């Protein structure tokens, strides 16, 4: 599975044999069983993830209610908002499928960036790309009606409907489960 | 005003006299009058901004309606989602106040990063910090009722209520202007 990481990096930079060896040696690819909680509310976070295969969900417990805020799938990075800081997380990260992911930590990152400076440039480019995508998704969400949000999901991430239960999809779309059922019925018609 | 940039950078890294000189020489601080449109839908974007003083609003024209998606103020970076790419913007950027900002472009960035590698590390750290803030804001937005969103605004960015008209604030909060009026009346009571 280290090969998957090398394959991904090779889309953007030349991966030298030394870098490939360092990736394999770091043993940073791990497997997590479905239902594994990677981060809990109140915990510090010293790990970030790059999903090779599987799905990680972020959710908050707000007044006892489970509120899904994001689903991360293949080739997406999951960097907790408090990653590497001495601040407790406000939310949870859970594998909703068996998940294979590269697992980073601040020390490993610093070591790899120092050894392979081109990784620093790549990380900056990827961070900027993720940032741009987040901004666009947030804007789209803000401007869309609940029905438009569901239609966008059907268009952009139809796989999620097979991977996650509907009550999680509903809160991810910022709507009540009953409203989602109504929207789905209307669309089928 | 170059001093403001140096002061900001000095919070994070040691700014050498050489770096300070390069910043002044690049003449990258510019002034924009209120109502200046920095980017239009359909245009390519080769400029990013770091606001020293003022306020920049991003908005979409969706079915002829003006939808505000973000307000950027002092010490915030504005990087268009299509910055440095050959893709037309889907939205507008407008100064809603006289604005003083550092203006970057891909060539200047590459040149400065090559000359002062510590800027690359800093840029990565700042991009990650912005990303974390975006994720947290999006999650909060998703989980909040319209009234909660308004209360959060009062708590976190009360200055915006003095700086932007209410119809822009309403669409920024993803609610109708009439609903915002009702919420405001309820809260005053």
Q: For the segment B86-138, what is each residue's pLDDT rounded down to a tens digit?
A: 999 999 999 999 999 999 999 999 999 899 988 888 888 889 999 999 999 99
Q: Residue A128: name the closest of B37, B124, B91, B146 by CA.
A: B124
| Gyration radius from chain A CA atoms | 18
A84, burial (CB in 10 Å: exposed 0-12, middle 13-18, buried 19+)? buried
Look at residue A26 and give its three-state secondary structure: helix
- The DSSP-derived string for A105-146 is -HHHHHHHHHH-HHHHHHHHHHHHHHHHHHHHHHHHHHH--H
Residue A137 confidence (pLDDT): 95
CB-based contact A163:A55 (threshold 8 Å): yes
Q: φ and ψ at B6, to 5 degrees?
A: -60, -45
**Closest Cα in chain B to A81:** B132
Q: What is the mean pLDDT of residues A159-163?
A: 97
The three-class DSSP label of residue A78 is strand
The minimal CB distance from A127 to the residues B91, B128, B141 is found for B128
Q: What is the mean pLDDT of residues A51-64?
A: 96
Of B139, B134, B129, the C-alpha closest to B81 is B134
| pLDDT attached to residue B6 | 87
The ipTM is 0.91
**pLDDT at B66 exceeding the cut of 90:** yes
Instruction: Give the pLDDT band of residue B1 (cuts 50, 70, 90).
Output: low
A12: phi then psi, degrees, rounded to nearest 5:
-115, -35
Residues of A with CB under 8 A from a CB of B: 58, 60, 62, 67, 69-70, 79, 81-83, 90-91, 113, 117, 120-121, 123-124, 127-128, 130-139, 141-143, 171-172, 174
Considering only CB atoms, B142 lies closest to which of A83, A131, A174, namely A174
Mutate to test the interface with B, among A76, A89, A118, A143 (most CBs of B within 10 A): A143
Looking at beta carbons, which residues of chain A come within 8 Å of B77? none
Rounded to 5 degrees, what are φ and ψ at A54?
125, -165
In this prediction, residue A102 carries a pLDDT of: 93
H-helix or E-strand spanning residue A30: strand A29-32
- Single out the residue of A74, A116, A134, A118 nearest to residue A99, CA to CA: A74
Specify whether the backbone of B55 is left (phi greater than 0), alpha (psi in -120 to 50) or beta: beta
Contact A48, A80 (CB under 8 A): yes
Token digits of residue B134: 């975006």
Q: Which of A61, A62, A65, A69 to mutate to test the interface with B (most CBs of B within 10 A)?
A: A69
Closest approach of chain A CAs to the CA of B84, in angstroms? 11
Cβ-based contacts of A106 with chain B (< 8 Å): none
- Which of B134, B145, B148, B168 should we substitute to test contact with A (largest number of A Cβ atoms within 10 Å)? B134
Binary contact (A69, B138; C-beta < 8 A): yes
Enumerate the residues of chain A whose CB falls inside 8 A of the CB of residue B79. 128, 131-132
Residue A17, pLDDT score: 92
Inter-chain CB proximity B127 and A127 less than 8 Å: yes
Phi, psi of B75 (to 5 degrees): 65, 20
Question: Please, are residues A12 and A78 in contact by the beta-carbon 8 Å criterion?
Answer: no
If DSSP codes are grouped into helix, strand and coil, which group holds residue B165?
coil
Section A149-161 average pLDDT:
96
Q: Tell me, what DSSP letter sits at residue B91?
A: S
Q: Which helix (H) or strand (E) holds A24?
A: helix A17-26
Say how far apart CA B105 and CA B84 lie, in whole Å: 8
Q: How confident is the model at residue B24 (pLDDT cuts 50, 70, 90)?
A: confident
Measure the CA–CA gap between B86 and A113, rounded to whole angstroms: 29
Query: Taking CB atoms and an 8 Å cutoff, what residues of chain B touch A172?
Result: 142
Mean of pLDDT values over A25-39: 93
Residue A18 has pLDDT above 80, yes or no: yes
B135-176 confidence digits (pLDDT tens): 999 999 999 999 999 999 999 999 999 999 999 999 999 999
Residues of A in contact with B139 (CB under 8 A): 58, 60, 69-70, 91
Based on its alpha-carbon atoms, the radius of gyration of chain B, rounded to whole angstroms, reads 18
**Rounded CA separation A99/A53 (Å):** 6
B171 neighbourhood in chain A, CB within 8 Å: 142-143
Say what the pLDDT of residue A184 is: 95
% of residues, chain B, pLDDT over 70 = 99
3-state secondary structure of A74: coil
Q: DSSP states of B34-80 as a string?
A: TT-EEE-TT-----EEEEEES-EEEEEEETTEEEEEEEE-TT-EE--
* pLDDT of A27 higher than 90: no
- Residues of B whose CB is below 8 A from A119: none
| Burial of residue A93, with CB atoms counted within 10 A of its CB: 0-12 exposed, 13-18 middle, 19 or more buried | buried
Instruction: Please compute the mean of the pLDDT values over residues A33-55 and round it to a whole number.
Output: 97
Residue A117 has pLDDT above 90, yes or no: no
Residue A42 has pLDDT above 90, yes or no: yes
pLDDT of residue A1: 65
pLDDT band at B5 (very low <50, low <70, confident <90, very high): confident
| B136: closest CA of chain A, how far (Å) | 7
Task: Using the CB atoms, write b or e for A39-52: b if 16+ within 10 Å.
Answer: beeeeebebbbbbb
């Amino acid at each position: 599975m280290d090969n998957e990481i090398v394959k991904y990096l090779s889309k953007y930079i030349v991966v030298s044999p030394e870098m490939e060896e360092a990736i394999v040696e770091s043993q940073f690819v791990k497997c997590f069983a479905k239902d594994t909680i990677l981060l809990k509310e109140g915990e510090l976070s010293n790990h970030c993830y790059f999903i090779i295969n599987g799905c990680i969900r972020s959710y908050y417990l707000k007044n006892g209610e489970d509120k899904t805020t994001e689903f991360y799938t293949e080739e997406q990075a999951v960097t907790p908002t408090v990653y590497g800081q001495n601040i407790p997380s406000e939310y949870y990260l859970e594998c909703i499928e068996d998940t294979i992911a590269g697992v980073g930590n601040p020390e490993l990152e610093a070591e790899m960036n120092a050894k392979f400076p081109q990784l620093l440039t790549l990380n900056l480019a990827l961070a900027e790309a993720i940032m741009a995508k987040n901004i666009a998704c947030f804007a789209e969400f803000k401007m869309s009606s609940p029905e438009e949000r569901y239609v966008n999901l059907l268009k952009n991430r139809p796989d999620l409907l097979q991977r996650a239960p509907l009550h999680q999809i509903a809160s991810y779309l910022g709507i009540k489960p009953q409203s989602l059922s109504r929207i789905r019925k209307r669309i089928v018609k």
